[in-house]
Amino acid sequence: MQYLVIEGNIGAGKTTLSALLAKDFNAKLVLERFAENPFLPKFYSSPEQYSFPLELSFLADRYKQLNDELRTVSLFQPLIIADYFFMKSLIFAHNTLSGDEYNLYRQIFEIIYSSIPKPDLYVYLHLPTSKLLENIHKRGRDYEQTITSDYLDEIQKGYFDFFKQHPEYSFLVIDTSNLDFVSNHVDYLKLKSAIFDEKYTKGIHRVTF
């Protein structure tokens, strides 16, 4: 495996797990630069006004970052671990943009998407919405505190629709409801083993602990 994606809904712990695995495997770590997006706080306070510039700015930044990072593999770091996949742009845009805006956005997305390298394995960390909201509250980012359970449910539906529409990929959906891989090293090792000790064919695979 050369390219691993760790994904999940907002608050699922994807960035934390990506960093832990990258440290263990001396892998190149690619983290989404969401905190640098000037439109994000504005979007959460006024979604209708800022949804289109937000999604376009994310699209441009994700493309530039992945195009730069994935095409410069080091001999000393042959494994790349990213905490997002480019398709995330379309999943979130579908839930934030109106019909005409989304159609235009999708045209731009499709032009770019074909040139982006695809992961060897796509891991999705699944948590119930109540737990996601709890995690979001704990980490205390002001602009995230208005996120609703309905919004998280729609994002989750978008991810699972994406999985079903792309049988050519290898997806591993891990239910982490009963794990605390941040504080419990044994739980972390379980996750690590599920990801690296098995060979996954194309399609959707599920693991529950």
Mean pLDDT, rounded, of the chain: 91
Examine the residue annotation and report whether 120 is marked as an active-site residue of this protein: no
Amino acid 47: pLDDT: 84
Give the pLDDT confidence of 184-195 residue by residue, as tens digits.
999 999 999 999
Q: Which residue has the tokens 């480019």?
A: 86
Q: Which residue has the tokens 């050369």?
A: 2
Decide if 3 contacts 72 (C-beta within 8 A): no
Spell out the CATH class of 3-208: alpha beta
Amino acid 70: pLDDT: 83
DSSP assignment of 70-95: HT--BTTB--EEES--TTHHHHHHHH
Q: Which of 83, 100, 120, 175 is catalytic?
A: 83
Helix axis angle for 14-25 and 185-196, nearest 10°, is 80
Amino acid 140: pLDDT: 82
Q: How many CB atoms lie within 10 A of CB 153?
A: 14
Where would I find the H helices in 122-148? 129-139
Give the pLDDT confidence of 41-96 residue by residue, as tens digits.
888 888 888 999 999 999 999 999 998 888 776 656 789 999 999 999 999 999 88
Give the pLDDT confidence of 2-17 residue by residue, as tens digits.
999 999 999 999 999 9
* Order of strands, sheet of 203-208, starting from the edge strand that comes earlier in the sequence: 28-30, 80-82, 3-8, 121-126, 170-175, 203-208
Amino acid 136: pLDDT: 94
Residues found in the chain: 209
Q: How far is CA 114 from CA 2, 49, 63, 87, 111, in A?
A: 19, 30, 11, 11, 7
For residue 100, what are the contacts with CB-CB under 8 A and spacing of at least 6? none
CA 115 to chain centre: 19
Give the pLDDT confidence of 16-49 residue by residue, as tens digits.
999 999 999 999 999 988 767 888 888 888 888 8
The mean pLDDT of 97-120, rounded to a whole number, is 92
Residue 81 bridge partners (DSSP) = 4, 29
